């Protein structure tokens, strides 16, 4: 669509979903709720439709997209499926885990989806709205987060409209997202090595330990360990998820000109979780960052977050917001 038309917002009921399917069918852009964040979806098999995602987001062309599928069977049409992939998909799909696998030469997807990489990122999401949509169309959906590039990821329809109003055709409204953080990304290499490319809601070490002991499985490289050969996932860019003002981490008390984001016993202008619940904190993180960005305070302070469980993913996003 041209940048001038207003973006339609529809409740994500049967009618809304059918309307979304029709827009996607003809190559349009729809913001769709998933359990992680709102995704900006286009049909992945159409170069023009995929090009519109990059244009609407102002996304650099080198930044590949995640392709959303119904299940492992559909994924195997686009990537070289393996026993390792089957193991992981068995426990984690549908859900907030993305698998990066060698793409198939006969995948038939738009080239821009992989940004020229020999691998493709695939995920079967569990949000009922995204699932119903994937059932209704006969193509997979490329869908990065539904925000302008570098901005804070959207966990509500309002967040989507903040940066994409007038740039996309439709937003399907299903309220706030449950997990609130982008998917964990796991690459499974030719030699079987597991490499965590982005920390997220799924604890990959736990998934690994479910099948292997440290001595009998393939190598597991967690994000932040070892040398990364190439920059694959811009979730890996040091600066990302930016609120557009300075962010101070591990703050016990706010300075007068700071918007304080609290956690546990440390109270703020907005609290991630007063009871210190990390799962709730993950779900509230982007809402708090959006409020902090919009406040008239020129700086942001964030209380310390334990670096355990999903706290790892929260701290990863906060470090990038602060970079």
For residue 234, the minimal CB distance to Mg ion (Å) is 8
Number of CB atoms found within 10 A of residue 119's CB: 18
User: Is residue 119 a contact point for ligand AMP (CB under 6 A)?
Assistant: yes
SS3 at position 66? strand
User: Is residue 114 a contact point for ligand AMP (CB under 6 A)?
Assistant: yes
User: Between 7 and 145, whose beta carbon lies closer to Mg ion?
Assistant: 145
For residue 98, the minimal CB distance to Mg ion (Å) is 12
Total site size for ligand AMP, rule CB under 6 A: 19
User: Is residue 12 a contact point for ligand AMP (CB under 6 A)?
Assistant: no
User: Is residue 63 a contact point for ligand AMP (CB under 6 A)?
Assistant: yes
User: Between 115 and 293, whose beta carbon lies closer to ligand AMP?
Assistant: 115
Distance CA 321, CA 182 (A): 14
Q: Which two tokens stand for residue 46?
A: 């159409």
User: Is residue 125 a contact point for ligand AMP (CB under 6 A)?
Assistant: no
User: Between 28 and 144, whose beta carbon lies closer to ligand AMP?
Assistant: 144
Whether the CB-CB separation of 119 and 75 falls below 8 Å is answered with no
User: Between 17 and 181, whose beta carbon lies closer to ligand AMP?
Assistant: 181
Sheet (strand 258-262) strand order: 247-248, 299-302, 258-262, 270-271
Whether the CB-CB separation of 114 and 103 falls below 8 Å is answered with yes
Torsion sign (Cα): 76, 82, 88, 90: positive
Nearest to 127 by CA among 69, 177, 86: 177
Distances (CA, A) of 167 to 8, 36, 92, 201: 11, 22, 33, 29
For residue 36, the minimal CB distance to Mg ion (Å) is 10
Residues 138-167 that bind Mg ion (CB under 5 A): 145
Number of CB atoms found within 10 A of residue 92's CB: 22
User: Is residue 235 a contact point for ligand AMP (CB under 6 A)?
Assistant: yes
For residue 63, the minimal CB distance to ligand AMP (Å) is 5
Residues 31-60 that bind ligand AMP (CB under 6 A): none
Torsion sign (Cα): 92, 98, 101, 104: positive
User: Between 186 and 303, whose beta carbon lies closer to Mg ion?
Assistant: 186
Whether the CB-CB separation of 320 and 249 falls below 8 Å is answered with no
Residues 196-215 that bind ligand AMP (CB under 6 A): 197
User: Is residue 121 a contact point for ligand AMP (CB under 6 A)?
Assistant: yes
User: Is residue 266 a contact point for ligand AMP (CB under 6 A)?
Assistant: no
Q: What element of type H or E holds 279?
A: helix 278-294
Whether the CB-CB separation of 290 and 159 falls below 8 Å is answered with yes
User: Is residue 98 a contact point for Mg ion (CB under 5 A)?
Assistant: no
Q: Which does 282 bind (CB under 5 to 8 A by kind): ligand AMP, Mg ion, none?
A: none
Q: Which does 84 bind (CB under 5 to 8 A by kind): ligand AMP, Mg ion, none?
A: none
One residue of 95, 125, 140, 144 binding ligand AMP per CB under 6 A: 144
Contact residues for Mg ion, defined by CB under 5 A: 145
Q: Contact positions toward ligand AMP, by CB under 6 A? A: 63-66, 100, 114, 117, 119-121, 144-145, 182, 185, 197, 232-235
């Amino acid at each position: 669509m041209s940048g001038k038309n207003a973006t339609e917002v529809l409740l994500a009921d049967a009618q809304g979903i059918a309307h979304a399917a029709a827009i996607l069918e003809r190559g349009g852009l729809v913001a769709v709720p998933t359990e992680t964040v709102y995704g900006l979806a286009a049909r992945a098999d159409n170069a023009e439709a995929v090009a519109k995602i990059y244009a609407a987001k102002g996304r650099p062309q080198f930044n590949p997209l995640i392709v959303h599928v119904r299940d492992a069977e559909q994924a195997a049409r686009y990537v070289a499926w393996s026993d390792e992939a089957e193991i992981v998909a068995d426990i984690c799909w549908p859900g907030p885990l993305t698998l990066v696998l060698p793409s198939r030469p006969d995948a038939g997807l738009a080239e821009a989806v992989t940004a020229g990489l020999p691998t493709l990122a695939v995920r079967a999401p569990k949000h009922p709205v995204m699932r119903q949509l994937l059932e209704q169309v006969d193509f997979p959906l490329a869908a990065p987060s539904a925000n302008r590039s570098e901005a804070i990821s959207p966990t509500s329809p309002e967040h989507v409209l903040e940066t994409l109003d007038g740039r996309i055709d439709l937003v399907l409204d299903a309220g706030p997202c449950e997990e609130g953080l982008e998917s964990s990304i796991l690459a499974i290499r030719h030699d079987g090595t597991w490499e965590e490319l982005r920390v997220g809601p799924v604890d990959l070490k736990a998934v690994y330990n479910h099948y292997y002991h440290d001595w009998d499985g393939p190598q597991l490289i967690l994000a932040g360990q070892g040398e990364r050969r190439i920059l694959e996932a811009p979730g890996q860019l040091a600066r990302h998820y930016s609120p557009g003002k300075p962010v101070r981490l591990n703050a016990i008390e706010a300075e007068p000109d700071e918007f304080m984001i609290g956690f546990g016993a440390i109270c703020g202008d907005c609290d991630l979780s007063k009871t210190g619940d990390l799962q709730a904190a993950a779900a509230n993180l982007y809402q708090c960052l959006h409020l902090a960005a919009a406040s008239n305070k020129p700086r942001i302070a964030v209380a310390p977050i334990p670096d355990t469980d999903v706290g790892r993913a929260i701290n990863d996003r906060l470090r990038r917001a602060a970079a």
